Amino acid sequence: MVEGGTRKAGSVCHALHPAAQRHSRMQGARGRRLYSPDERARRDSTVWTTVQAVLAPLQFLVFLVSLALVVRFLVTGAGETAATVSVVVKTLILYTIMVTGSIWEKVVFGKWLFAEPFFWEDVVSMAVLALHTAYLVMLLGGVGTPTEQMLVALVAYASYVVNATQFLLKLRAARLEDSQRQRPASARRAPA
């Protein structure tokens, strides 16, 4: 029977309810969890998970230092060399984390990039790579003024913040999924 846009079977509301639709989308387009049991086992056993766990915070730390140096240069005109070197270092770390992340994705999901659970993170990562690469092309090709180059770096950094947020949200979802999986089945059941 349909009441107020939701079908009822006994006391359980089914898939027409907006909250149920959101929950289903959060589990993935195939209606599955972020990791299958086999994928979780591969994730937990590969060295590439540790590599990503080390590189991600390192990249964030380099990003913060570089951001400060770039903003300092744009505001005061001082420290162009330090700002430039910092953006190059940040970009090289980004390239490293992208290569190792692709290896991780291949080991865990069987695809180098665009595995379903990380599809949108990978799409945004491509934009982040393109913007960081544009900065390098401008720098090495002598295109634009140092200020214009640093503005491109700031746009690249803004895209990086969006991408890092995506990955942090995915990490949170994975941890929630893992904690739910580890709870006894009786604790997961909703009261009648």
On whether the CB atoms of residues 145 and 184 are closer than 8 A, the answer is no
The string of pLDDT tens digits covering residues 20-48 is 344 344 444 445 688 888 998 999 999 99
Q: What is the pLDDT of residue 187?
A: 55
Q: What is the distance between the alpha carbons of residues 39 and 174, in angstroms, rounded to a whole number? A: 12
Q: What is the pLDDT of residue 165?
A: 92
Q: What is the pLDDT of residue 102?
A: 94
Q: What is the pTM of this model?
A: 0.74
Mean pLDDT in residue range 186-192: 54
Q: What is the pLDDT of residue 171?
A: 85
Q: What is the distance between the alpha carbons of residues 173 and 187, in angstroms, rounded to a whole number? A: 19
Q: Round the average pLDDT of the chain to a whole number and report it.
A: 83
> How large a percentage of the chain has pLDDT more than 90?
64
The string of pLDDT tens digits covering residues 126-153 is 999 999 999 999 999 999 999 999 999 9
Question: Two tokens at 48?
Answer: 């590439």
